[in-house]
């Protein structure tokens, strides 16, 4: 039984607003409802966040904020199974995934920023002056103020906390808006916050849609000082227009059309296993998933055959998040079937039980499509990967770097010199060599071109969420 989805504003829960249905992606049935925040409630949330900036929160030391982040992490761990249940109910993802990736990573998000915060060293400069006595320059980090955190549906708690944790670590106050498709774990997070002894208004949560709803009202709100957003590139541009008038800073983690490069000198078995993971984890609904794989011609057939066989054997995967998203993915498959070849999948699995009402798509391997085909060019965000051959390293790089996106790429090679040559030449924010999605939370995370603006992770997030100010003292 789902716990009720409520807003959390100024330290109190609020169930007001027109209800919208929540749908179980596994079966396609209605599984509850959530209230859509009114504009008035969004205003109240921003006002509460602004008021909290000048309350006791302003004098919390970094060590106190770090302890708070650990308390929040403890609170999530104490209700671990409830968080897993809520994440699975909203997204339909397998329990195994939510309990080994989503919820543990949310805990790690809070703990890693807590640890970083207490170990953070400030630089200072002893500046020479003509009188020989010098001056001391040092940096003070101030919070940005009220930060709107807007997150997508694919990794709901992981991506929300990835921004909430560093925003709180640096002394900001937050108004969070999770995806309207997946509000459950954000609501549980608010319950954890309510028990974590943080001043009212420091963390606020509103539910509802994006355009002409809570998301848009937040980004347009003059009381919001910065927007940290993860979602589609198109939504990123809309948000940029919304904040342009007041020049509010943005941190954007956006879409991708990630390439994998498989060289003939790679350990082929490892490359196949890695590509199965990188293409089909969470049924391809991870921004880092590989959707295009370029394989050196001598091993193309062997790789394609092994990948297609692996895809056909996959079990235990989850559905698409919604009927609309399933239809979008199937639309690409329809075009691909007409213009290229389907090596595995391509349809909807049949279970012979109530899952047949859900939003399922088979793990699919395509080939033979031209590079300008929508299924090769546009982000599908489903369990679909296209394979194409290449002949030279230069050609492989040109193919990988084509297109509007630049989030992540994988390189499979047994030649360490090639790895060092190719990886840095990729137009992406993150390149993996002989692995995929191996993450150290201190490293820069983000995309280039249409895949994002700015970097998050470690000091990069702490830097985004704070305003460095220089103080110069003449000695």
Which residues are tagged catalytic? 253
Nearer CB in complex with ligand NAD: 17/389: 17
Binding to ligand NAD (CB under 6 A) within 122-151 occurs at: 150-151
116: contact with ligand NAD by CB under 6 A = no
Q: Would you list the DSSP string of 187-222? A: HHHHHHHHTTT--TTSEEE----STTSHHHHHHH-T
Q: Are 93 and 281 in contact (CB under 8 A)?
A: no
Nearest to 102 by CA among 149, 176, 157: 157
Distance (Å, rounded) from C-alpha 399 to C-alpha 404? 12
152: contact with ligand NAD by CB under 6 A = yes
Pick one of 238, 401, 434, 437: the residue that binds ligand NAD (CB under 6 A): 238
Tokens standing for 288?
Answer: 């880092």
154: contact with ligand NAD by CB under 6 A = yes
Nearer CB in complex with ligand NAD: 102/296: 102
What are residue 8's phi and psi, to 5 degrees? Answer: -135, 110
What are residue 428's phi and psi, to 5 degrees? Answer: -145, 165
Q: In sequence order, which residues have a C-beta less than 8 Å from that of residue 455 and are 6 or more positions away?
A: 429, 444, 445, 446, 464
Residue 216 C-beta: closest distance to ligand NAD, Å = 4
Pick one of 447, 454, 457, 458: the residue that binds ligand NAD (CB under 6 A): 447
Pick one of 38, 172, 204, 235: the residue that binds ligand NAD (CB under 6 A): 235
Report the residue closest to ligand NAD, judged by CB: 210
Among the listed ranges 85-93, 127-135, 176-184, 463-471, the one in contact with ligand NAD (CB under 6 A) is: 176-184
Q: In sequence order, which residues have a C-beta less than 8 Å from that of residue 116 and are 6 or more positions away?
A: 169, 442, 458, 459, 462
Nearest to 258 by CA among 292, 281, 285: 292
Nearer CB in complex with ligand NAD: 216/290: 216
Spell out, one character per residue from 302 to 341, where the chain touches ligand NAD: x when CB under 6 A holds, - when not: ----------------------------------------
Among the listed ranges 57-65, 117-125, 228-236, 434-442, the one in contact with ligand NAD (CB under 6 A) is: 228-236
Binding to ligand NAD (CB under 6 A) within 360-419 occurs at: 379, 381, 407
Nearer CB in complex with ligand NAD: 179/290: 179
Q: In sequence order, which residues have a C-beta less than 8 Å from that of residue 315 and are 6 or more positions away?
A: none
Nearer CB in complex with ligand NAD: 217/263: 217
Nearest to 316 by CA among 346, 374, 365, 276: 276
Nearer CB in complex with ligand NAD: 314/448: 448
Pick one of 211, 245, 316, 352: the residue that binds ligand NAD (CB under 6 A): 211
The DSSP bridge pattern shows strands 146-150 and 173-177 to be parallel
Pick one of 209, 249, 414, 444: the residue that binds ligand NAD (CB under 6 A): 209
Task: Please report which residue ranges of 210-350 form alpha helices under DSSP H.
Answer: 214-220, 233-244, 268-280, 297-313, 323-339
Nearest to 9 by CA among 160, 148, 175, 157: 175
Nearest to 162 by CA among 138, 178, 146: 178
231: contact with ligand NAD by CB under 6 A = yes
Nearer CB in complex with ligand NAD: 211/222: 211
Pick one of 34, 287, 385, 409: the residue that binds ligand NAD (CB under 6 A): 287
How many binding residues for ligand NAD (CB under 6 A)?
A: 31
Nearer CB in complex with ligand NAD: 66/213: 213
Q: Is the dihedral of CA 443, 247, 228, 116 positive or negative?
A: positive
283: contact with ligand NAD by CB under 6 A = no
CA distances from 57 to 127, 163, 177, 466 (A): 34, 18, 21, 15
Residue 112 C-beta: closest distance to ligand NAD, Å = 16
Distance (Å, rounded) from C-alpha 224 to C-alpha 216? 12
278: contact with ligand NAD by CB under 6 A = no
Residue 316 C-beta: closest distance to ligand NAD, Å = 22
Pick one of 38, 109, 179, 461: the residue that binds ligand NAD (CB under 6 A): 179
What are residue 447's phi and psi, to 5 degrees? Answer: -125, 165
253: contact with ligand NAD by CB under 6 A = yes
Pick one of 8, 83, 113, 153: the residue that binds ligand NAD (CB under 6 A): 153
Q: Are 144 and 223 in contact (CB under 8 A)?
A: no
Among the listed ranges 37-45, 52-60, 251-259, 300-308, the one in contact with ligand NAD (CB under 6 A) is: 251-259
Nearest to 146 by CA among 64, 58, 242: 58
Residue 209 C-beta: closest distance to ligand NAD, Å = 5
Report the interface residues with ligand NAD, using CB under 6 A. Answer: 150-154, 159, 177, 179-180, 209-211, 215-216, 219, 230-232, 235, 238-239, 253-256, 287, 379, 381, 407, 447, 452
């Amino acid at each position: 039984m789902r716990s009720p989805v409520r807003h959390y504003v100024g330290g109190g829960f609020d169930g007001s607003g027109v209800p919208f249905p929540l749908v179980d992606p596994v079966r396609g049935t209605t599984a509850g409802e959530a209230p859509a925040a009114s504009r008035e409630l969004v205003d109240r949330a921003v006002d509460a966040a602004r008021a909290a900036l000048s309350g006791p929160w302003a004098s919390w030391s970094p060590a106190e904020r770090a302890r708070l982040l650990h308390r929040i992490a403890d609170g999530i761990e104490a209700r671990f199974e409830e968080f897993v249940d809520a994440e699975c109910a909203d997204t339909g993802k397998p329990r195994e995934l939510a309990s080994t990736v989503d919820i543990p990573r949310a805990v790690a998000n809070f703990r890693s920023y807590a640890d970083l915060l207490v170990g953070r060293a400030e630089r200072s400069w002893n500046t020479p002056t003509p009188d020989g006595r010098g001056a001391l320059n040092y940096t003070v980090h101030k919070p940005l103020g009220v930060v709107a955190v807007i997150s997508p549906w694919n990794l709901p708690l992981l991506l929300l906390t990835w921004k909430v944790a560093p925003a709180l670590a640096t002394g900001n106050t937050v108004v969070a808006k999770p995806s309207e498709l997946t509000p459950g774990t954000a609501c549980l997070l608010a319950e954890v916050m309510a028990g974590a002894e943080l001043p009212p208004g420091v963390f606020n949560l509103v539910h509802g849609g994006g355009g002409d709803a809570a998301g848009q009202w937040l980004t347009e709100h003059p009381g919001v000082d910065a927007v940290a957003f993860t979602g589609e590139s198109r939504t990123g541009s809309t948000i940029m227009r919304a904040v342009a008038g007041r020049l509010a800073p943005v941190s954007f983690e956006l879409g991708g059309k990630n390439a994998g490069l498989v060289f003939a000198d790679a350990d082929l078995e490892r490359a196949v296993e890695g590509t199965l993971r990188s293409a089909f984890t969470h049924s391809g609904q991870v921004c880092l998933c590989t959707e295009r794989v370029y394989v050196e011609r001598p091993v193309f057939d062997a790789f394609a055959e092994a990948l297609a066989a692996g895809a056909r054997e996959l079990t235990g995967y989850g559905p698409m998040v919604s009927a609309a998203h399933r239809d979008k993915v199937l639309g690409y498959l329809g075009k691909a079937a007409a213009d290229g070849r389907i090596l595995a999948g391509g349809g909807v699995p049949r279970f012979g039980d109530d899952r047949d009402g859900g939003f399922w798509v088979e793990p699919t391997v395509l080939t033979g499509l031209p590079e300008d085909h929508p299924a090769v060019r546009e982000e599908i965000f489903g369990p679909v990967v296209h394979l194409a051959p290449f002949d030279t390293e230069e050609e492989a790089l040109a193919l990988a770097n084509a297109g509007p996106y630049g989030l992540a790429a994988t390189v499979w090679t047994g030649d360490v010199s090639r790895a060092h040559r190719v990886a840095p030449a990729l137009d992406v924010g993150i390149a993996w060599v002989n692995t995929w999605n191996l993450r150290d939370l201190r490293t820069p995370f983000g995309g280039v071109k249409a895949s994002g603006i700015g970097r998050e992770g470690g000091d990069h997030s702490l830097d985004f969420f704070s305003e460095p100010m220089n103080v110069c003292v003449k000695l």
